[in-house]
Amino acid sequence: MPNSPRIRIFDTTLRDGEQSPGCSMSPQQKLVMARALDELGVDVMETGFPASSQSDREAMAMIAREVRRPTLAVLSRCLAADIETSAKALETAANPRLHVFLSTSPLHREHKLRMTREQVLESVHKHVSLARSYVGDVEFSAEDATRTEEDFLIEVARVAVAAGATTINLPDTVGFTTPEEIRGMFQRVIAGVPDSDRIIFSAHCHNDLGLAVANSLAAIEGGARQVECTVNGIGERAGNCSLEEIAMVLKVRNAFYDEDTRINTPRIVATSQLLQRLVGMPVQRNKAIVGANAFAHESGIHQHGMLRHRGTYEIMRPEDVGWESSQMVLGRHSGRAAVEQRLRALGFFLYEEELKHVFEQFKALCEQQRVVTDADLQTLMQGSATQN
C-alpha cells in the first residue's frame, strides 16, 4: 500500500453539505453540528469557506474555540485574498488545515477559468506555497479531477506536492466516474508522484449517478487514505459520499478491506437525526443505515427468519449504528410468528386456536390499514373473546 493503512474521515457536512440547496446553517447550528461530529470521531472537519461569507467566518471562530481534537479545515480558491482570509479564520484552531482548490479539467480550464495548462500549474504552485507559509497542513484539490487528462493531473499533483501540499484530493466533482475508472486513476496518480508515501491521497465523490460510496471504496482500493463525505450524504445536487455508508462498509466488510475508520459508529443515528432537524431535510425511509426502514422487517418469511437468528436478514447490529433495536413491523406481509411474538410482548399468551382466530382478525385489519400498531393489537384483543 502506498499510504498508511488507516482511512481518515474528512467530513464536509458543514461546507459541501451545506452547499446543498435548502441546507444552509447558522453559525450556532454549525457549532451544534460540529460538537456532534467531534463525538462521532471524524478526523477532519471542514467548517466552511471563510472568504464566501461572514457567517462562515463566525462559525469557524465559534467551532475553533470549542472543538480541539479534530483537524479543522477551511476551503479557499487559488486566490491570495481567499487564502489570507482562511489563514486568519484558522488562527485559533488547535489543528488547522488550509484546503486550496483549482479546476484542472479541460472543460473547466476553457469555460470556467479561461486558463491554459501552464497557467493552472503556475497558480497551483503559487497558491499552495502561499498556504504553506501560513500552516503546515495544506490540502490541494484538483477540482473535476476525474475529467482531467491523466498526464496533466499527475503534473498538477507533483507541482502541488513540490509546493508543500500534504494531502492531494482528486474529486469526482460531477459524480461522473465509475469504480473501475477511479481505482485506476488513484493507482496511476499515486505512482506518478515522487515520495507519494509521505502524502495522503484523498477521494471526494459526488453522487450524481448514485455511485459516490462505491467510487470512494474503489478509490481506497486504488490507494486513497482519506475519504471526504457528509452525514446523510447531503451536498451539491445529488449529494456527496455518505459518511455513515462508507464507515459501515469498511466496518462490516473489514475482512475484505482490512481498513477501518475511527468513527464511533453507535453515534451515527443520533448525528444523522440532528442534521435532519437542523436543516429540515429528512432522509428517505429506505436510506441505508439511518433510514427508518433500515432495520425494519415486515414480511412473514423475514420476520420468521429474524426470530430464529438475526443474521438471516441483518448484516450488522442496529445497536452498532445507534438504533435501539430491529423493528418487526406488523402489516399485510407479516406472519403468525411475528404477531404471536408481539402479542406476548404485550402480555397476551394465546393457545393455538385463539391465536388462529386473532390472526384472522389481524389479517382483516391489514386490508384496511398499512401498519398494525401495538395500540391496534390491544384494541383487537379487547374485542376478542380470547383475551386473557
Residues in contact with Zn ion by CB under 5 A are 16
Binding residues for Mn(2+): 16, 204, 206, 240
For residue 176, give the C-alpha cell.
461522473
- CB-nearer residue toward ligand KIV: 206 or 287: 206
Question: CB of 228: closest distance to Zn ion in angstroms?
Answer: 7
For residue 26, give the C-alpha cell.
447558522
Question: CB of 145: closest distance to Zn ion in angstroms?
Answer: 11
Q: Are 19 and 272 in contact (CB under 8 A)?
A: no
- CB-nearer residue toward Zn ion: 58 or 172: 172
- Contacted by 267, from Zn ion, ligand KIV, none: CB < 5 to 8 Å by type: none
For residue 53, give the C-alpha cell.
461569507
Rounded to whole angstroms, the Cα distance separating 231 from 290 reads 10
- CB-nearer residue toward Zn ion: 275 or 330: 275
- Contacted by 186, from Zn ion, ligand KIV, none: CB < 5 to 8 Å by type: none
- CB-nearer residue toward ligand KIV: 16 or 56: 16
Neighbour-count burial for 350-376, b at 16+ CB within 10 Å, e otherwise: beeebbeebbeebeebbeeeeebeeee
Map the footprint of ligand KIV across residues 31-70, applying CB under 6 A: none
For residue 124, give the C-alpha cell.
497551483
Q: Which position among 204, 287, 302, 304 is part of the footprint of ligand KIV (CB under 6 A)?
A: 204
Binding residues: 16, 204, 206, 240
- Contacted by 245, from Zn ion, ligand KIV, none: CB < 5 to 8 Å by type: none
Q: Are 25 and 53 in contact (CB under 8 A)?
A: no
How many residues at the interface with ligand KIV, by CB under 6 A?
9
Q: Is 196 in the site for ligand KIV (CB under 6 A)?
A: no
For residue 169, give the C-alpha cell.
484530493
- The residues pairing with 77 across neighbouring beta strands, listed in sequence order, are 101
Question: CB of 114: closest distance to Zn ion in angstroms?
Answer: 22
Rounded to whole angstroms, the Cα distance separating 178 from 332 reads 39
| From 26-34, 60-68, 108-116, 167-175, span contacting ligand KIV (CB under 6 A) | 167-175
Q: Are 241 and 7 in contact (CB under 8 A)?
A: no
- The residues pairing with 100 across neighbouring beta strands, listed in sequence order, are 76, 140
- Going by the DSSP 8-state scheme, the letter that residue 145 receives in this structure is G
Q: Which position among 13, 23, 33, 101 is part of the footprint of ligand KIV (CB under 6 A)?
A: 101
- Alpha-carbon distances of 87 from 28, 54, 74, rounded to whole Å: 21, 15, 9
Q: Which position among 96, 171, 222, 233 is part of the footprint of ligand KIV (CB under 6 A)?
A: 171
Q: Which position among 16, 38, 155, 245 is part of the footprint of ligand KIV (CB under 6 A)?
A: 16
Rounded to whole angstroms, the Cα distance separating 307 from 300 reads 10
Site for ligand KIV, rule CB under 6 A: 16, 101, 141, 143, 169, 171, 173, 204, 206
